[in-house]
Amino acid sequence: MIPFIKHRRIFYIISVTLVGSAVVSIFVFGLNLGIDFTGGSLLSLTYQEQVPPSGEIRESLKELELGEVVVQSLGERGVLLKMKEISEETHQKILVELRKLGEVEEGSESFQSIGPVIGRELTQKTKIVVSLALLAILLYIAFSFRRISRPVKSYVYGLTSLLALFHDVLIPLGVFAVLGRFYGIEITIPIITAFLTIFGYSINDSVVVFDRVRENLLRLREPTFDLTVERSLNQTLTRSLNTSLTTLFVLFAIFLFGGETLKYFSLALILGIGLGTYSSLFLATPLLVSFLRFKERRYRK
């Protein structure tokens, strides 16, 4: 068996170092929020023939220094551009560049600004969704593992899952803080969606291992809780790695060949799923043993 529990302090040090670095990056650099949260401009139009490729549109607008420009297709011949708030002069320059790429239908152009009020509303809703999700996760795990209140209480399984979840989300956020500072990458709604997906994936990984711990506690009579956890981790290791690797192969393919729109969405998932696999095996489950050891030492005093 792989000695997960024996080397758990090494895993804790790695996790604390990564989380600490991520938190510092977030506080120092901040998160580069997209127009979905900060407000900006929307420009849509329809070409008479085929829409130019997204990369070609971005390249044509590069000299205007618009920052991150999100390009989305609207049907077969329409295109929507999302960008920071711009002046009417810049708006006209953009139209000139876009007309160079193809014939535009007369009267199909639409330009509007998104005010910061909408951005604040989206931010507030995101916070509410995340808070409710965390509370639901804690209650669900505590209820599901109520049959194994010894040697650790069922709510401890929920708490360690949440610690692993924060680990899996904070580190990618730190990476995006660095990318936003040095490469202008913005946090958009698709990336937030990726983080919400990480929530589910991370918890699922942890619950799979916890469920095996529960089965072994009820079925086997190992001499110590440490040995039960060790056996459970080794029994679920292959399953966790296989599930994560098959998902990561697809995500790497999307990241490399899926286009600019999906690139950072897939990157967020790659980071989150990779860290979720790590935390379920090397962080969340070993924390159960550490919690029990801490409780035993406190009772001895």
Residue by residue, pLDDT tens for the chain (301 residues) are 788 888 999 999 999 999 999 999 999 999 988 777 777 888 888 898 888 888 888 888 888 888 778 888 887 788 888 888 888 888 899 989 888 888 888 888 888 887 665 667 777 887 888 788 888 888 888 888 877 767 888 888 889 999 999 999 999 999 999 998 888 788 888 898 898 899 888 888 888 899 898 888 887 676 788 888 999 999 999 989 999 999 999 999 999 987 777 889 999 999 999 999 999 999 999 999 998 888 877 766 5
Closest CA to 111 of 163, 61, 164, 40: 40
* pTM: predicted TM-score of the whole model, two decimal places: 0.83
Two structure tokens written together for 218: 């009820």
Kindly report whether the peptide bond that precedes residue 151 is cis, defined as omega within 30 degrees of 0: yes
Interatomic CA distance for residues 155 and 135, integer angstroms = 12
Question: Which class would CATH give 40-114?
Answer: alpha beta
* Sequence-ordered strand ranges (E) for the chain: 40-46, 70-74, 78-83, 110-114
DSSP state of 73: E
**Burial degree of 190 (CB within 10 A; 0-12, 13-18, 19+):** middle
| Residue 238 tokens, joined | 């292959």
Domain ranges of the chain: 8-34+117-300, 40-114
**pLDDT in the model for residue 118:** 60
Direct distance between the N- and C-terminal alpha carbons of the chain, in angstroms, rounded to an integer: 34
Residues 6+ apart with CB under 8 A from 192: 126
Amino acid at 37: F
Select the CATH number that applies to the domain covering 8-34+117-300 from these four: 1.20.1640.10, 1.20.1280.260, 3.30.930.10, 1.20.1420.30: 1.20.1640.10
Calculate the CA 65 to chain-centre distance: 28
